[in-house]
C-alpha cells in the first residue's frame, strides 16, 4: 500500500523534526512529518495524572537566544514563565541569579570544603571565564531566526560578531572531560564529584561549567513543557504540512527513496530528514543498487555509528503529594539540583558500577541493592515542581514532584534479563523517596498520593533512543558526529543520497537549542537544493 509522494519526509517529531517541518512547510514545501508515538515532542513533553501535570522530559527550556526569536518569526504566541534554579548540598541551599548566583555558589563550596579555599578560587575563576563566553554566545537573538533583520538588529549583530568569533574558537577547543579538568585544579575528590556529578560522564568542560550560566536562562511554558512542541505542530498544520503520528518506520530504501512503516505502508521522498535515533537509521537502511563509492562511504559511517553508545540516561520518579506548595517554596525554587551529601559519589558511579556490570552473573540481589542504597544517598537529584511556575498544574493544596537522577541503562538491561526488573524499579523508587524524605523534605513519603517512574529502558522504548540516551552520544569515547560549533551547519549532512539528519544525534553536545538549530539547518539545505 503506497501513500502519495511527498517532496520532503521527516522522521521523528521531536524539536528537530518539528523545526525542520515548520520552516519547510512555511516555505511552501510539500512536507510529511512521521512520528512513532501518539504525541509530538519526543523528549520534550507533558502528561496529566489525577489533576497533576508532569513534564516527561526536560524540566525547563534553555532560551539560548533561540526559542524566543524562532517563535517570534513563526508568529507563535506562547506565554513563558521564569524558571529560576536553586542548588542545594545537605542543608545548604542557594538560589541562582545572573547577578549573584556564582558568588553564592562559591561561598557554598567554601563553607562545605574549608580546606580547599584556594582550589575553589581557581575553579570559580574558570567558571567565570566560561560564563563570560556563554554571555557572548547568547548576547543577542540567534541570527538564524531573524530573516527580517531591521537596522537596529543589524547594528547589534555587527557589534557582536567580533566578540563571538573568538568565543567560537575557544569553545570548540574546550573538549576535555570535566572530571579530568577539575583534577588539575584540586585534589579534593569530594569537591570534584560535587561539581561533576551534575553532568553526564566525561562531559566536555565548556558544556558542563557553562551550565552555571544556562541555569539563569531557563524558561518554562505556561501549562507545561509540552505546550512548546504542540504549538509548533499546530503551526505546521496551518502552513499545510502533514503530520502522521503512531507511524514507526522499519525500513529505508536509499536507491528507491522509499520508507516503509510497521504496517507495511510505503512513503517515497525527494529528500529525507532523519530526526530519530541514528543507530536505527543505519540498522534498517537498504543500500542495494547504489554506486560502489557511495556504498563504501555509507558502510564506513554505519560501522562508526553502530560502534558508539548513547550518553547517560535517567531514572525519573513522578509523585503526587498531599502537601501545600508553601512547604516546598520555603526551601527552593521550582527547579532544584540537590545533593544529599557533600561526600560525592566517588567510585560508586565508576569502578563499582563497572564491576557490577562486568560480574553481574556472580552478584547477588543484596549486593546490587547495597550499591543502589549508597548511590541514592550520594547522587545529585534534579527536582522539578511544575506548580511553582503555574499553580494550575496541581490541585489546590497539593504538589506534583518530578525527581530524577542519572542512571545506567546497562544495569537495568541486565536486571530485566534476570527477570527482576519491576522489583528493582520499585526498590529504586523506595530508596529515592527515602533519601529525599530523610534529607530535604521531611515527612514526604508519608504524604504520597500516588507515584510512578520512568527508567532508561522505558525511555529507550518510548522515545526510541539507543541506550535510553537523553542528549545524544556518550562522551566515554570520541563522538561519531560533528562537535565543533563552527561546523554545525555541516553536521546535518550524511553519506546517504538526499538524506539529512538533525537533532540530538546529529551534533554533540546536544540539547533543545541544538535540536532546533540542526533542524533549521537541515531545512535550509533542502531549500537550497530545491532552488
List the Cα angle 278/280/284 in 5-degree steps. 125
Residues 98-113: what's their mean pLDDT?
92
Residues 189-199: what's their mean pLDDT?
95
Long-range (24+ apart) CB contacts under 8 A made by 433-440 are 433/317, 433/319, 434/376, 435/340, 435/376, 435/377, 436/338, 436/340, 436/381, 436/383, 436/403, 438/340, 439/90, 439/338, 439/340, 440/88, 440/331, 440/338, 440/340
pLDDT bucket at 385, cuts 50 / 70 / 90:
very high
Question: Do 108 and 95 reside in the same domain of the chain?
Answer: yes
pLDDT bucket at 335, cuts 50 / 70 / 90:
very high
Give a yes or no: residue 62 inside a domain: no
* 170: nearest Cα among 119, 203, 130: 130
pLDDT bucket at 508, cuts 50 / 70 / 90:
very high
Question: Do 333 and 414 reside in the same domain of the chain?
Answer: yes
Last residue of a domain, one of 217, 242, 273: 217
Q: Is the pLDDT of residue 142 over 90?
A: no
Give a yes or no: residue 413 inside a domain: yes
pLDDT digits (tens, 9 = 90+) for 267-285: 999 999 999 999 999 999 9
Q: What nine digits make up the cell of 267?
A: 512513503
Indicate if the alpha-carbon torsion angle 317, 320, 322, 328 is positive or negative: positive
Name which of 159-168, 292-301, 315-324 the model is least confident about. 159-168
Give a yes or no: residue 66 inside a domain: no
Residue 500 pairs in a beta bridge with: 273, 493
Last residue of a domain, one of 162, 194, 217: 217
pLDDT above 70: percentage of residues in the chain: 98
Per-residue model confidence (pLDDT) at position 299: 98
Could you list the residue range(s) of the whole structural domain that residue 16 is in? 6-44+226-308+475-530
Per-residue model confidence (pLDDT) at position 98: 82
Q: Is the pLDDT of residue 396 over 50?
A: yes
Give a yes or no: residue 492 inside a domain: yes
Question: Do 461 and 365 reside in the same domain of the chain?
Answer: yes
Q: Is the pLDDT of residue 487 over 70?
A: yes
Q: Counting beta carbons within 10 angstroms of the beta carbon of residue 38, is it exposed (0 to 12), middle (13 to 18) or buried (19 or more)?
A: exposed
Question: Do 90 and 195 reside in the same domain of the chain?
Answer: yes
Question: Do 131 and 153 reside in the same domain of the chain?
Answer: yes
Per-residue model confidence (pLDDT) at position 6: 65
Give a yes or no: residue 115 inside a domain: yes
Q: Where are the alpha helices (DSSP H) in 142-226?
A: 151-173, 178-183, 189-196, 205-209, 211-214
Q: What nine digits make up the cell of 271?
A: 529528500
CATH number at residue 501: 3.50.50.60
Residues 388-405: what's their mean pLDDT?
96
Query: Which residues neighbour 333 within 8 Å (Cβ) at sequence distance 6 or greater?
Result: 83, 84, 85, 86, 95, 388
Q: Is the pLDDT of residue 127 over 80?
A: yes
Per-residue model confidence (pLDDT) at position 139: 85
pLDDT bucket at 2, cuts 50 / 70 / 90:
very low
Number of CB atoms found within 10 A of residue 177's CB: 19
Residues 33-40: what's their mean pLDDT?
96
Per-residue model confidence (pLDDT) at position 46: 96
Q: DSSP labels for 240-301?
A: T-EEE-S--EEEEETTTTEEEETTS-EEEEEEEEE-S-HHHHHHHEE-TTS-HHHHHHHHHH
Q: How far apart are CA 234 and CA 240, in angstroms?
A: 10
Q: Is the pLDDT of residue 506 over 70?
A: yes
Question: Do 34 and 175 reside in the same domain of the chain?
Answer: no
How much is the mean pLDDT over the chain?
94
User: What H or E segment, with its residue span, contains residue 49?
Assistant: strand 46-49
pLDDT digits (tens, 9 = 90+) for 403-458: 999 999 999 999 999 999 999 999 999 999 999 999 999 999 999 999 999 999 99
Question: Do 153 and 166 reside in the same domain of the chain?
Answer: yes
Question: Do 317 and 301 reside in the same domain of the chain?
Answer: no
Per-residue model confidence (pLDDT) at position 143: 85
* Helix (H/G/I), strand (E/B), else coil: 161: helix
Contact 26, 475 (CB under 8 A): no
Last residue of a domain, one of 167, 182, 217: 217
Residue 450 pairs in a beta bridge with: 320
Per-residue model confidence (pLDDT) at position 67: 95
Question: Do 151 and 198 reside in the same domain of the chain?
Answer: yes
Give a yes or no: residue 60 inside a domain: no
Question: Do 187 and 102 reside in the same domain of the chain?
Answer: yes
Question: Do 455 and 483 reside in the same domain of the chain?
Answer: no
Per-residue model confidence (pLDDT) at position 522: 97
Per-residue model confidence (pLDDT) at position 154: 86
* 19: nearest Cα among 464, 466, 515, 412: 515
pLDDT digits (tens, 9 = 90+) for 283-305: 999 999 999 999 999 999 999 99
Q: How far apart are CA 45 and CA 53, in angstroms?
A: 10
* 496: nearest Cα among 308, 260, 271, 276: 271
Residues 494-506: what's their mean pLDDT?
97
Per-residue model confidence (pLDDT) at position 175: 84
Q: How far apart are CA 224 and CA 58, in angstroms?
A: 10
Query: Which residues neighbour 133 within 8 Å (Cβ) at sequence distance 6 or greater?
Result: 167, 170, 171, 206, 210
- Overall domain count for the chain: 3
Give a yes or no: residue 74 inside a domain: no
Question: Do 324 and 428 reside in the same domain of the chain?
Answer: yes
* Helix (H/G/I), strand (E/B), else coil: 363: coil
Per-residue model confidence (pLDDT) at position 461: 93
Per-residue model confidence (pLDDT) at position 148: 64
Give a yes or no: residue 524 inside a domain: yes
Q: Is the pLDDT of residue 1 over 50?
A: no
* 473: nearest Cα among 207, 220, 246, 127: 207
Amino acid at each position: 500500500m503506497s501513500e502519495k509522494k511527498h517532496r520532503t519526509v521527516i522522521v521523528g517529531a521531536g524539536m528537530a523534526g518539528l523545526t525542520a517541518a515548520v520552516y519547510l512547510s512555511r516555505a511552501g514545501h510539500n512536507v510529511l512529518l512521521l512520528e512513532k508515538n501518539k504525541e509530538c515532542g519526543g523528549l520534550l513533553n507533558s502528561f496529566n495524572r489525577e489533576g497533576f501535570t508532569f513534564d516527561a522530559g526536560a524540566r525547563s527550556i534553555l532560551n539560548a537566544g533561540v526559542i524566543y526569536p524562532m517563535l517570534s518569526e513563526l508568529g507563535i504566541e506562547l506565554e513563558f514563565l521564569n524558571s529560576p534554579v536553586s542548588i542545594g548540598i545537605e542543608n545548604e541551599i542557594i538560589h541562582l541569579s545572573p547577578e549573584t548566583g556564582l558568588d553564592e555558589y562559591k561561598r557554598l563550596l567554601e563553607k562545605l570544603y574549608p580546606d580547599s579555599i584556594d582550589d575553589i578560587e581557581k575553579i570559580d575563576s574558570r567558571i567565570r571565564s566560561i560564563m563570560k563566553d556563554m554571555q557572548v554566545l547568547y548576547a543577542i537573538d540567534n541570527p538564524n531566526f531573524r530573516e527580517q533583520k531591521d537596522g537596529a538588529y543589524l547594528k547589534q549583530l555587527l557589534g557582536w560578531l567580533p566578540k563571538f568569533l573568538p568565543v567560537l574558537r575557544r569553545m570548540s577547543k574546550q573538549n576535555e572531560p570535566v572530571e579530568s579538568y577539575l583534577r588539575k585544579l584540586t585534589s579534593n575528590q569530594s569537591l570534584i564529584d560535587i561539581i561533576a556529578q551534575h553532568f553526564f560522564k566525561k562531559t566536555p568542560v565548556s558544556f558542563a561549567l557553562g551550565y552555571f550560566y544556562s541555569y539563569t536562562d531557563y524558561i518554562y511554558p505556561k501549562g507545561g513543557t509540552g505546550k512548546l512542541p504542540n504549538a509548533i505542530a499546530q503551526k505546521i498544520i496551518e502552513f499545510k504540512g502533514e503530520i502522521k503520528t503512531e507511524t514507526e518506520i522499519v525500513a529505508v530504501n536509499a536507491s528507491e527513496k522509499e520508507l516503509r512503516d510497521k504496517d507495511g505502508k510505503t512513503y517515497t521522498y525527494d529528500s529525507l530528514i532523519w530526526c530519530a535515533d541514528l543507530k536505527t537509521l543505519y540498522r534498517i537502511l537498504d543500500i542495494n543498487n547504489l554506486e560502489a563509492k557511495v556504498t563504501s562511504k555509507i558502510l564506513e559511517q554505519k560501522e562508526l555509528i553502530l560502534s558508539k553508545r548513547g550518553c547517560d540516561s535517567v531514572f525519573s520518579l513522578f509523585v503526587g503529594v498531599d502537601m501545600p506548595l508553601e512547604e516546598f517554596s520555603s526551601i527552593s525554587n521550582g527547579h532544584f539540583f540537590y545533593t544529599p551529601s557533600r561526600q560525592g559519589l566517588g567510585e560508586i558511579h565508576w569502578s563499582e558500577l563497572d564491576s557490577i556490570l562486568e560480574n553481574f552473573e556472580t552478584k547477588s540481589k543484596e549486593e546490587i541493592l547495597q550499591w543502589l542504597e549508597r548511590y541514592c544517598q550520594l547522587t545529585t537529584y534534579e527536582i522539578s515542581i511544575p506548580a511553582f511556575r503555574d499553580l494550575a498544574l496541581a490541585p489546590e493544596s497539593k504538589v506534583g514532584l518530578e525527581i530524577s537522577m542519572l542512571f545506567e541503562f546497562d544495569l537495568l538491561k541486565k536486571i530485566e534479563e534476570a527477570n527482576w526488573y519491576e522489583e528493582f524499579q520499585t526498590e529504586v523508587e523506595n530508596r529515592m523517596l527515602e533519601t529525599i524524605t530523610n534529607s530535604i523534605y521531611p515527612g514526604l513519603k508519608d504524604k504520597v498520593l500516588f507515584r510512578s517512574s520512568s527508567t532508561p529502558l522505558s525511555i529507550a522504548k518510548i522515545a526510541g533512543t539507543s541506550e535510553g540516551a537523553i542528549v545524544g552520544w556518550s562522551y566515554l569515547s570520541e563522538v561519531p558526529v560533528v562537535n565543533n560549533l563552527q561546523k554545525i551547519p555541516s553536521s546535518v549532512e550524511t553519506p546517504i543520497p538526499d538524506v539529512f539528519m538533525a537533532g540530538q544525534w546529529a551534533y554533540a553536545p546536544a540539547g533543545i537549542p541544538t535540536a532546533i538549530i540542526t533542524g533549521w539547518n537541515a531545512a535550509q539545505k533542502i531549500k537550497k537544493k530545491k532552488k
